[in-house]
Amino acid sequence: MGYSCGIDIGGTKIAGVLVDANLNVLLSRRALLTGKTPDSVVQEITSLVEYLTGGIEKSKLLGVGVVTPGIIDGDTGVVVYAANLGWRNVPIRDLVQRELDLPCFLEHDVRGGALAELFFGAGRAFANFLYVSVGTGIAGTIVWDRKVVRGSHNTSGEIGHTVVMPGGPVCRCGKRGCLEALASGSAMEREAWYLAGEKVEGSVIVERAKSGDPLFREILRNASFFLGLALANLAGTLDPEAILLGGGVSEAGEPWFRLVEEAYRMHLLNPESAPKLLLGAFRGRASVMGAAALPLLRALGS
């Protein structure tokens, strides 16, 4: 069928993949963003796509998928608001199409991850599921009848800013006690700084916890507890078939997952008939894989 490129724009980094029609990765690359203006980012995307597709005939490229955090209007291809980039009403789809002379498709990064799981990953087995990305922040996507639920204001699934500890730590949104402020990678890094007096990345926190360090085991357990609590509440509210976990923190794998599952089952109303809790297939790569899936899905009419 052809090849597709996926681009994931973060606050400080940009990642890209080239995939075949089955979403198998043929080439990938990550780089630091050298600037955050729309023109600068478009040039970064252009350079990355040209690197990934070098030697491939343009006629064999189905297009470029782009994902970013924030409020996205996929129909018009506009980033309505992205705090990490300082963007408002940026028509990024049209800017990229014009620069590359290729079809471009835009989606929210976490919804992109959900689409990757839905059509190519662990979500293929389910009609209804909740996809939750746990990384620097926390966000979710509801998939119902194999369709993404966007909500009345394109903000459905913003579970990271539900309050799970009234009066708790200040979240970047300004509220106190949000799930993101307690269970995300950045929340664990904040706790490590507060308790250990050192700057420690999330992956290192997990490794120290796995090695038996009691302080870091406690940091990991506390974060997992609040995530499991929130997921149990969502299970009772939505009653999906499954909840799939992705994002950078999910790269911690089974040690983290077991703690989350323990807290999840502890807070369920009826554990015997509860939604399955599973690690997604793409974990920390879910968003960029979802970006790459966008042109493929359009070609398939999905």
> Quick check: 86 and 28 in contact, CB under 8 A?
no
Residues 161 and 295 in one domain: no
pLDDT > 80? residue 301: no
Residues 143 and 71 in one domain: no
Higher per-residue confidence, 178 vs 136: 178
Residues 276 and 291 in one domain: no
The answer to whether residue 119 sits within a structural domain is no
Residues 132 and 273 in one domain: yes
Buried b / exposed e along 91-122 (16+ C-beta atoms within 10 A): bbbebbbeebebbbbbbbbbbbbbbbbbbbbb
- Supply the mean pLDDT for the chain: 93
Q: Which domain holds residue 35?
A: 3-113+285-300
Residues 160 and 176 in one domain: yes
- Cα 272 to chain center, whole Å? 29
The answer to whether residue 102 sits within a structural domain is yes
CA 115 to CA 98: how far, in whole Å?
26
The answer to whether residue 108 sits within a structural domain is yes
What is the identity of the amino acid at 161? Answer: H
Residues 201 and 102 in one domain: no
How confident is the model at residue 126, as a pLDDT? 98
How confident is the model at residue 11, as a pLDDT? 80
Position 16 confidence tier, pLDDT thresholds 50, 70, 90: very high
Residues 29 and 158 in one domain: no
Residues 275 and 290 in one domain: no
Residues 51 and 162 in one domain: no
Residues 253 and 148 in one domain: yes
Residues 139 and 245 in one domain: yes
Instruction: Domain count for the chain, please give it.
Output: 2
Higher per-residue confidence, 182 vs 84: 182
Residue recorded with tokens 């402020």: 181
Mean pLDDT of 142-146: 97
The answer to whether residue 96 sits within a structural domain is yes
The answer to whether residue 76 sits within a structural domain is yes
pLDDT > 90? residue 29: yes
pLDDT in tens, 212-263: 899 999 999 999 999 999 999 999 999 999 999 999 899 988 989 999 999 9
The answer to whether residue 214 sits within a structural domain is yes
CATH number of residue 200's parent domain = 3.30.420.40
The answer to whether residue 118 sits within a structural domain is no
CA 135 to CA 157: how far, in whole Å?
15
pLDDT in tens, 50-109: 999 988 888 899 999 999 988 888 889 999 988 878 899 999 999 999 999 999 999 999
The answer to whether residue 267 sits within a structural domain is yes
Prediction pTM value: 0.92
Residue recorded with tokens 């297009």: 63
Retrieve residue 185's tokens: 């990678």
Position 10 confidence tier, pLDDT thresholds 50, 70, 90: confident
Residues 146 and 84 in one domain: no
Give the bridge partners for 272, in sequence order. none
Task: Give the H/E segment covering residue 223.
Answer: helix 214-238
pLDDT in tens, 270-297: 888 999 999 999 999 999 999 999 999 9
